Amino acid sequence: MFFSKTAVVIASLAACVSAQSSAAPSGTVAVHVVQAMIDTSGKPVFSPNEIQANVGDQIQFQFHPANHSVVQATFADPCIPISQSASGNGAQGFFSGFMPVSASSTEIPTFSITVQDTKPIWFYCSQGKHCQAGMVGAINPTANKTLADFTSRAAQAAANLSPGQNPGTGGTSGGATPTTLQTSAATTGASATNTAIPPPNAGAKLAVSMPLVLAAIAASFFFL
């Protein structure tokens, strides 16, 4: 019966969501999904933009049209890659590369990191002026280092840089993807993987996509 199947799908999704807020059961990993997207008001955002995660949890960024990225920053320098930030102390950090996605795409590209310590992790989108516009986020922010503070300082940032980009060149064009960085592991608080999943466009596809997501997550562990 249709309604009972729907209920089962909703129940399984609810189970996935609830698993994100506490430690994952032994032998599994908690996955926090973050959408990189344009919201209904036309604003570029990460949704959610604030994540509470345990060590060992994964954060999976899912990329929607048109072209976003996720770059690790320091709290002090919101729209500058941690690798180019004076406050980064030489850390490499993660960078998804740019993720161009057409409106008719049949896949959602994803980029995942694994939380490796309890320190706050700060990130932003390096497309155009998305960082200044508020497309920023935090994993495990603190009372002293808040996402609100990070966001307000991002709005004042002089430039929005991708890794390898010179401040003198201004904003990003969105075309170039430094492939050497795209799948590189981070040295500060997170390790990263790239993959893609089918979009859960229709309710009927949800039951199919969840196992695929889990398979992708499982597969990613073999390559770490």
List residues binding Cu ion (CB under 5 A).
44, 68, 125, 127, 130, 135
CB of 160 to Cu ion, least distance (A): 9
CB of 128 to Cu ion, least distance (A): 7
CB of 136 to Cu ion, least distance (A): 10
Q: 32 vs 68, which CB is nearer to Cu ion?
A: 68
d(CA 2, CA 187): 48
Q: 125 vs 213, which CB is nearer to Cu ion?
A: 125
3-state secondary structure of 96: coil
Q: 32 vs 64, which CB is nearer to Cu ion?
A: 64
CA 45 to chain centre: 11
Q: 99 vs 190, which CB is nearer to Cu ion?
A: 99
152-185 exposure pattern, b = at least 16 Cβ within 10 A, e = fewer:
eebeebebbbbbebeeeeebbebeebeeebbebe
Asked if 101 and 66 touch (Cβ cutoff 8 Å), the reply is: yes
CB of 197 to Cu ion, least distance (A): 19
Closest CB to Cu ion: residue number: 125
Give whole-number Cα distances, 79 to 2, 20, 71, 75, 129, in Å: 48, 28, 9, 10, 9
CB of 161 to Cu ion, least distance (A): 13
Burial grade of 141 (CB within 10 A; 0-12, 13-18, 19 or more)? buried
Q: 53 vs 125, which CB is nearer to Cu ion?
A: 125
Alpha carbons within 13 angstroms on the beta-carbon side of residue 67 total 13
